[in-house]
Structure 1
Amino acid sequence: MERLQKIMSQAGIASRRKSEEIITAGRVEVNGKVVTELGTKVNPNEDIIKVDGQKIEREKLVYVLLNKPKGYITTVDDPRNRRTVMDLIQDVSQAVHPVGRLDKDTEGLLLLTNDGDLTYALTHPSHGVDKTYIATVKGIPNQSKIEALEEGIKLKDGWTAPAEAKLVAELADEAIVSLTIHEGRKHQVKRMLKSVGHPVEDLKRVKFGSLDLTGLSVGGYRYLTNSEVKELKKVEDRVNSVEN
C-alpha cells in the first residue's frame, strides 16, 4: 500500500504536492469513489485510480538528458505548431516533461523526466540548483562588471542572488562569459548581462546541477545513469527534509 499522491506522481500526473491539491479538489476516484482525504493509501496493482475520469497507470520513471539545439521551444505541446523539444525525443515512450526552460534561441543542457517530485525539487527557486551558462556578449566586460554579476544585479523583479562569473575569452568586439546561477527567473542570464552593458548574442547552458554535456552532440540525448539519478535525488531528499 502506498500513498495516493505518490502513485499519481509516479504516473506523471504531477508532483506529490500538486497531486495533493488535485485530490482535495475532488478530482480523483479510487475504485469508483471520489477520494479527498490526504494520506489515503492504495494498492497500485489492484486499485483502479482515475484523475478527471481518466485511469492512470504507473509509468517507469525515466530521466533524459538532451543537448537542445536552437530553434526549438521548451514545451510539451505548442498550439502554433512550432518545433518543440519533444520532437527530438520521439522514441521515448514515457510521458516526460522538461525540467525548467530554455529559450527558443538558447541551446544546451535540458533534463526531461516523468518524475514529478524530482521536477519540483529541481525547479523550486529556493532549492538552489546551480546552472552554468556560456554566453557570447557584445563588448568586453571589465573586472567591475564581472564583480557586479557576482554580487547580484538589480532587475525589475528584484535583486539577483550572488552568482559565479568569469571572463573566459576576449574577442575583437565581443567576449565569452561563464555565468553560474541557482535561480530560475525568466531570461535571467540575458537580463543580467544586458544590465551591465553587454547584451547576449549567443547562449548555451552547459551544466545543470551535477550534469554536463560531455560526449553529447547538439540535438542528441541519452538516459541518465543510475549514479546520476542518485545524485539528483539528493536534492529531492534535502527538500523533503526541510518541508516535512
Structure 2
Amino acid sequence: MSEQERQGERIAKYLARAGVASRRDIERMIGEGRVRMNNVPVEHPATFVTAGDIVQVDGAVVGEQDRTRLWRYHKPDGLVTTHRDPEGRRTVFEAMPEGMPRVISVGRLDLNSEGLLLLTNDGALARRLELPSNGWIRRYRVRVFGVVDERRLAQLAEGSVFEGVRYGPIEAGLDSRKGDNAWLTVALREGKNREIRRVMSGLNLHVSRLIRTSYGPFQLGTLNRGELEEVPGKTLREQVSGLAPERRPGRKV
C-alpha cells in the first residue's frame, strides 16, 4: 500500500470527485454540519477519507467514486441550473432520466437560456473546465430585437464597460436581419453572470433568445431539446489532459 493510500484523500476532494458539489461548496456544507464520516460530524475540509470510511451528506451515504464521466445536455428554457431553487422552479437535475448518477453542471445557463450544458459526476473536473485559463471558447446564437450597429458589435472584441462593469473581449457578428429582429453569433472565453444579455442591453438590444451551441471542443450538435448524451470516455480523455485512464474489468490501474 502506498503512502497516499494510507493517508487517504481530503474529504472535500473526495466528495467533489463523487459529484456531490464543487470543493468550495463542500467546504461550506462542512461548515453547516451537513457532512459526517463514520457517523461523526466533519469539522474541517482537511479531514482524510481512507478505505472503509463511510461518508454521508445530508444523511445520505455517498457511494464509491465512479470513473470520471461527462454528458452533453440540451437544456430547454424554463429550467434553472441549480440543485435547489428557493422559488420552487423546476431544475435541470429534476429533469434527468431515472438511473442518472448525481451530477453537477459545468457553469450555468440561466432560466431563459437554452442549449449546450455540460454535466459531470466529478466536481473537480467541473471546476477545472470552468477556469478561464483553459481558453475554451463558448459560442452562442443570440436573437435580438432592435437596431444592430455592426461597428459597435466589432468593438466588443476590445473589451467593454457597461453600468460600471468591465467585460472581457467578446466576438460578435451579425448573421441575419429581418425587420427589427436579428440573429447574432457571439463567442467569449469568460462569462460573467448574464453577460451577453447585459452587454446587448448596453447596445440597446433586447435578447429574446439565447442558445449555447458549444463549450470548448464540445458541441450541441443534433441533440434535441431535453436530450442527454454521454461523451465517450476516449473522447473526454483526448480533450481534457491529465484524466486517469478508464478502468477495465480484470485490470488494475
TM-score (norm 2): 0.78
Structure 1 unaligned residues grouped into runs of 5+:
238-244
Report the identity percentage: 31
Match of 1:160 in 2: 167
Aligned CA distance change for structure 1 residues 24 and 164 (closer, same or farther; 3 Å): same
TM-superposed deviation, 1:134:
0.7
Aligned CA distance change for structure 1 residues 20 and 84 (closer, same or farther; 3 Å): closer
Match of 2:250 in 1: none
Report matched runs for 1:205-244 at 5 Å.
Answer: 205-231=212-238, 233-234=240-241
TM-superposed deviation, 1:25:
9.0
Match of 1:42 in 2: 50
Other structure's SS at 1:177 match: strand
Are 2:96 and 1:89 equivalent residues in the alignment?
yes
Match of 1:149 in 2: 156
Partner of residue 136 from structure 2, selected from 129, 135, 138: 129
Q: Distance in 1 between matches of 2:204 and 2:242?
A: 35
Match of 2:251 in 1: none
Are 2:62 and 1:56 equivalent residues in the alignment?
yes
Match of 2:146 in 1: 139
Match of 1:188 in 2: 195
Other structure's SS at 1:149 match: helix
Structure 2 unaligned residues grouped into runs of 5+:
245-253
Other structure's SS at 1:194 match: helix
TM-superposed deviation, 1:190:
0.7
Q: Which moved more, 1:141-150 or 1:228-237?
A: 228-237
Given residue 55 of structure 2, which amino acid in structure 1 is its aligned partner? Answer: I
Q: Which moved more, 1:12-21 or 1:121-130?
A: 12-21
TM-superposed deviation, 1:120:
1.1
Match of 1:77 in 2: 84
